[in-house]
Amino acid sequence: MYRTWRAATAWALTLAVMATMTGSMMRHHVASAEGAGRSITVKARLIGWVARRDGFYLYPEGATVRLVVSTWPNLLGEEVRARLEWRRAEARWRLLDVTSTTLNRDSRGAFLVRGLPAGYAFRIRARVPAGQDHRAGRSPWRYFRVR
């Protein structure tokens, strides 16, 4: 009887932990309903910035902007694409570059952006295309400026 109770308690604890994790993951951008299979959560963060102002990460001129991407669940060997757009003040966003990389065994990848001119606003996001067993997923936009 004790083993049955212990197994039931462990199962309930597992469900509680999963519910907590699901609630915290909902703050991140979860995949849309395209494709079949499980949903993918894509997180992206900018590294190396020196300040934040008006929702933009600020980088000094000549700096390398690094976007670190991670996915949940693990997608070892999957391709992730980054879309980089730019604009001048009061203008529309324009595509600057699309590049891709392969996720490592920790389901992480990185994108480096170099040689950006000062005085423009940029935004970047990562996207994992739909696969056979999962839906497509993408991160929210990350906005930055080079000063």
Query: Any idea what the CATH number is for the domain that residue 95 is in?
Result: 2.60.40.10
Is the same domain home to 18 and 71?
Answer: no
pTM of the model: 0.69
In which band, very low, low, confident or very high, does the pLDDT at 16 lie, cut at 50, 70 and 90? very low
**100: its two tokens:** 């891709």
Is the same domain home to 60 and 21?
Answer: no
Is the same domain home to 16 and 44?
Answer: no
43-56 tens-digit pLDDT: 999 998 888 888 89
Is the same domain home to 64 and 132?
Answer: yes
Residue 72: closest CA among 144, 142, 135, 118: 135
Is the same domain home to 123 and 89?
Answer: yes
- Kindly report which listed range (21-30, 37-46, 80-89, 135-144) carries the lowest average pLDDT score: 21-30
**Domain tally for the chain?**
2
Maximum Cα interatomic distance, the chain, rounded to a whole number of Å: 70
Give me the sign of the Cα torsion angle 44, 50, 52, 55.
Answer: negative
Domain span at 63: 31-146
**13: its two tokens:** 């604890």
Is the same domain home to 65 and 43?
Answer: yes
Given a cut of 50, whether residue 14 has pLDDT beyond it is no
Is the same domain home to 18 and 69?
Answer: no
pLDDT at 98: 93
Q: What percentage of the chain has pLDDT greater than the value 70?
A: 76
Is the same domain home to 14 and 53?
Answer: no
Is the same domain home to 46 and 4?
Answer: no
Is the same domain home to 24 and 57?
Answer: no
Is the same domain home to 92 and 21?
Answer: no
59-104 tens-digit pLDDT: 988 888 999 998 888 888 888 999 999 998 888 999 999 999 988 8
Is the same domain home to 14 and 60?
Answer: no
